[in-house]
Structure 1
Amino acid sequence: MASGIATVWLPVEDMSRAVKFYGETLGLTVKNEGDDWSEVDGNGVTIGLNARESTHGGAGGGAILTFQPDVDLYDEIVRLTDAGVKFIDEVAQHPWGKIATFKDSEGNDLQLFEPPAE
């Protein structure tokens, strides 16, 4: 039985660009940085940035990380858009919350999530 998430690995093409995106653009703490492997703290979950092997053909699917901003969802969308992040579509409204989907610097899918107001 799984007791939680230990680490999420994301493939990256350009390590310094990815570390800058997760550290500066998203505002997460970079725990360590290397050429082939870097780690970012996602509120207690380690996000491992794993350099792609040169034989890999590029981004195309994979894990989706969902972040819950500590401010209003739309305020965070504005902040990220001002930082150059491109959102894929309008905010999706669901009974279980709102989702805003965007790409990281390496083409991986990311989302912002806001639960419904109680």
Structure 2
Amino acid sequence: MAAGIATIWVPVEDMDRALAFYRDTLGLDVKSTSSEWSELDANGLTIGLNARESASAASSGGAVITFQPDGTIEDELERLSARGVPIEGNISDHEWGRILPFKDTEGNDLQFYSPPQR
């Protein structure tokens, strides 16, 4: 049985580019760096950036990292768009909350999530 999440690891092609995205665009704190493995703090959860040996196309249906926005989802859409981040659709509203899908510099699926306003 799993006792919790130790680390979420994300495959990256270019460690410097990926670090810049997660640090500068998403505002996460860098815990450690190397050319093969780097760690960031996402509010107490470690995100590990794992350098791949060779490029491979990502298949659809993989894991998605979901972040809490610092402000509103609209604010995050504006901020990400201004930085040229690939937005993967519109903000969508659901009874369980709102999401804004986007991609990191390495093509990994990410999103912002806000719970429903009641």
Bucket of the pairwise TM-score, normalised by the shorter protein: over 0.9
The unaligned stretches of length 5 or more in structure 2 are none
The two structures have a TM-score, normalised by structure 1, of: 0.92
Distance 2:8 2:42 in 1: 10
> Helix, strand or coil: the match of 1:85?
coil
- Say which SS state the counterpart of residue 27 (structure 1) adopts: coil
Residue 4 (structure 1) shift: 2.5
Q: Report the Cα distance in structure 2 between the residues aligned to 1:57 and 1:90, rounded to whole angstroms.
A: 27
State the alpha-carbon separation in 2 of the partners of residues 58 and 35 from structure 1: 21
* 1:87-102 aligned within 5 A: 87-102=87-102
**Post-superposition CA distance 1:31-70 (Å, at most 9, x none):** 111100000111111000000013x524334321000112
The separation in 1 between residues aligned to 2:94 and 2:41, in whole angstroms, is 28
RMSD: 1.3
2:18 maps to what in 1?
A: 18
Which residue is equivalent to 2:68? 68
State the AA in 2 paired with 1:86: P
For residues 14 and 79 of structure 1, the distance between their equivalents in structure 2, rounded to whole angstroms, comes to: 23
Contact 1:10/1:63, CA 8 A, preserved across alignment: no
TM-aligned CA deviation for residue 81 of structure 1: 1.1
Any idea what SS the aligned residue of 1:60 has? Answer: coil
Measured after TM superposition, the shift of residue 77 of structure 1 is 1.2
Matched length: 117
1:79 equivalent in structure 2? 79
| Deviation of 1:86 (Å) | 1.7
- Structure 1 counterpart of 2:7, one-letter code: T
Moved over 4 A (4+): none
